[in-house]
């Protein structure tokens, strides 16, 4: 499935550093607001355990049994208060977020930047304010779209007897909201039982807030955790959502050092291995400091953010389709050539369609490559399954 994670937050919270660390893309990073003017699109990876560890030989697609499955990531420019009214770089960036299935909100946990991203003393700004602000901006952006034609839409629903959820979904389609999101939000808010003509502005904002939560699940990256006051991290961890302590700067330094052959490091590892002693004093000092950071937090947190967004927030699994169930390979003998991210609860038939429409249309059955058992179209896939699809497609 096509997967896009959005990186959001105010300017100067470390989004561009996070993006570069996650993708090694060439983006501008600077200590002033609005470094990112146009959204950066890149490819990052979710980390999974490769099934080839069960075989005698490695597949050649993983690193020491760690399979990195590609996903799209988008770094939108920093949002400032009232962006939904067009302030700062405003709605352009909210519009960029519509492509994302989930959002990683990069928060400056150190409290060293104000609401607009300008540097202040560490601890001077409350990061909880940033969390509330981003939620409100996205909610009010949705409300702005819905409210624009609400009187006309409301009359249309009544006059033509149209379904409320269909009309709202059509109005918000450009924001990445579908009928099931609207339906769930109507039920959760209790507005499904109330005549839409009697909805107040507050009701509509509440509906938009709930649709935001459902359609754009969010994880908090408590960035600059290595310099953040402990009480800031504690406050963020008390929030009713996934919060990961991160140091995007440490991850970027490790990825760059690994790329330069100085260390051996796979994103998400809890340590790194020196490959050379031929480094400068500043480099050595920097790596020692990073070692302390990952010893304190377990990892730099960047890979954990990506993995937990994919596997927990979006509840996806990794499935490996093959053509030869004995060798776990394709026709050319490439072992475990593909890794597909799929929604938990997906079936063998869903996987067939994911591979190709014609294979889905002409599906006969599937085979579990581990057990060699034949599986029907409605068989539910599990994380890490290696599956052969049999169809009449040529």
Does 228 share its domain with 300?
yes
Does 376 share its domain with 251?
no
Residue 289 half-sphere exposure toward CB, CA atoms < 13 A: 13
Does 239 share its domain with 386?
no
User: pLDDT value at position 27?
Assistant: 41
User: pLDDT value at position 97?
Assistant: 79
User: pLDDT value at position 84?
Assistant: 53
Q: 134: domain CATH number?
A: 3.40.50.300
Does 286 share its domain with 352?
no
Q: Decide if 65 is inside a domain.
A: no
pLDDT confidence bin for 20, thresholds 50/70/90:
very high
Average pLDDT over residues 14-36: 66
Does 222 share its domain with 87?
yes
pLDDT confidence bin for 29, thresholds 50/70/90:
very low
Q: Coil, helix or strand for 188?
A: helix
**Which of 79-88, 97-106, 178-187, 374-383 shows the lowest per-residue confidence on average (mean pLDDT)?**
79-88
Query: Does 33 have pLDDT greater than 70?
Result: no
User: pLDDT value at position 232?
Assistant: 97
Q: Which residues contact 66 (CB under 8 A, 6 or more apart)?
A: 47, 48, 49, 50, 266, 268
Q: Decide if 110 is inside a domain.
A: yes
Boundary residue ending a domain (270, 285, 310) = 310
Does 273 share its domain with 355?
no
Query: How many separate domains does the chain show?
Result: 2
User: pLDDT value at position 212?
Assistant: 94
Which among 77, 90, 93, 94 has a CA at the least distance from the CA of 172?
A: 94
Give the pLDDT confidence of 195-232 residue by residue, as tens digits.
999 999 999 999 999 999 999 999 999 999 999 999 99
Average pLDDT over residues 71-88: 70
Give the pLDDT confidence of 123-156 residue by residue, as tens digits.
999 999 999 999 998 898 899 889 988 988 888 8
Q: Decide if 210 is inside a domain.
A: no
Average pLDDT over residues 66-75: 92
User: pLDDT value at position 119?
Assistant: 94
- Number of neighbours of residue 52 by Cβ within 10 angstroms: 20
User: pLDDT value at position 88?
Assistant: 45
The DSSP H or E segment spanning 119 is none
Q: Decide if 35 is inside a domain.
A: yes
Q: Decide if 203 is inside a domain.
A: no
Residue 151 has phi, psi (to 5 degrees) of -60, -45
Boundary residue ending a domain (286, 310, 334) = 310
Task: Output the CA torsion sign for 229, 232, 238, 239.
Answer: negative
Does 265 share its domain with 344?
no
Query: Does 91 have pLDDT greater than 60?
Result: no
User: pLDDT value at position 36?
Assistant: 40
Does 252 share its domain with 357?
no
Domain extent at residue 328: 317-391
Which among 67, 109, 89 has a CA at the least distance from the CA of 266?
A: 67
Q: 321: domain CATH number?
A: 3.10.20.30
Give the pLDDT confidence of 224-244 residue by residue, as tens digits.
999 999 999 999 999 999 999
Q: Decide if 149 is inside a domain.
A: no
Average pLDDT across the chain, whole number? 90
Core vs surface per residue 2-39: b (16+ CB within 10 A) or e: ebbbbbbbbbbbbbbbbbbbbbbbebeeeeebebbeeb
Give the pLDDT confidence of 255-286 residue by residue, as tens digits.
999 999 999 999 999 999 999 999 999 999 99
User: pLDDT value at position 137?
Assistant: 85
User: pLDDT value at position 41?
Assistant: 86
Does 298 share its domain with 334?
no
Contact yes or no for 97/6 (Cβ under 8 A)? yes
Query: Does 85 have pLDDT greater than 80?
Result: no
Average pLDDT over residues 345-358: 97
User: pLDDT value at position 82?
Assistant: 64
Average pLDDT over residues 167-177: 91
Q: Decide if 178 is inside a domain.
A: no
Does 252 share its domain with 355?
no
Does 90 share its domain with 107?
yes
Q: Decide if 177 is inside a domain.
A: no
Query: Does 32 have pLDDT greater than 70?
Result: no
Boundary residue ending a domain (283, 310, 337) = 310
Does 271 share its domain with 372?
no
């Amino acid at each position: 499935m096509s997967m896009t994670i959005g990186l959001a937050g105010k300017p100067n919270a470390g989004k561009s550093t996070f993006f570069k660390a996650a993708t090694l893309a060439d983006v501008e990073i600077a200590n002033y607001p609005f470094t990112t003017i146009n959204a950066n699109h890149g490819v990052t990876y979710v980390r999974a355990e490769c099934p080839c560890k069960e075989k005698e030989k490695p597949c050649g697609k993983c690193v020491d049994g760690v399979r990195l499955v590609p996903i799209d990531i988008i770094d939108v420019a920093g949002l400032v208060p009232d962006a939904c009214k067009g302030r700062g770089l405003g709605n352009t960036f909210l519009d960029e977020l519509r492509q994302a299935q989930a959002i990683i909100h990069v928060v400056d946990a150190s409290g060293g930047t104000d609401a607009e991203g300008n540097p202040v003393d560490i601890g001077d700004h409350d990061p909880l304010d940033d969390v509330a602000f981003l939620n409100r901006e996205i909610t009010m952006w949705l409300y702005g779209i819905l409210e624009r034609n609400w009187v006309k839409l409301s009359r249309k629903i009544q006059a033509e007897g149209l379904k409320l959820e269909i009309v709202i979904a059509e109005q918000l389609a450009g924001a990445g909201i579908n009928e099931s999101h609207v339906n769930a939000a109507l039920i959760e808010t209790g507005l499904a039982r109330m005549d839409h003509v009697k909805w107040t502005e507050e009701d509509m904002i509440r509906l938009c807030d709930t649709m935001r939560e459902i359609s754009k699940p969010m994880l908090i990256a408590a960035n600059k955790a290595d310099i953040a006051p402990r009480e800031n991290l504690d406050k963020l961890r008390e929030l009713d959502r996934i919060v990961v302590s991160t140091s995007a700067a440490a991850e970027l330094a490790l990825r760059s050092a690994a790329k330069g052959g100085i260390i051996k490091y796979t994103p998400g590892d809890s340590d790194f291995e020196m490959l050379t002693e031929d480094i400068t004093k500043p480099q050595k000092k920097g790596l020692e400091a990073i070692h302390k950071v990952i010893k304190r937090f377990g990892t730099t947190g960047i890979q954990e953010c990506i993995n937990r967004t994919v596997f927990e927030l979006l509840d996806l699994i990794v499935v490996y389709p093959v053509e030869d169930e004995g060798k776990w390979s394709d026709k050319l003998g490439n072992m475990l050539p593909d890794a597909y991210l799929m929604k938990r609860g997906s079936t063998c038939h869903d996987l067939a369609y994911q591979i190709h429409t014609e294979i889905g249309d002409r599906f006969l059955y599937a085979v579990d490559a581990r057990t060699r058992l034949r599986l029907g179209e409605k068989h539910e896939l599990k994380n890490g399954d290696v599956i052969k699809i049999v169809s009449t497609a040529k």
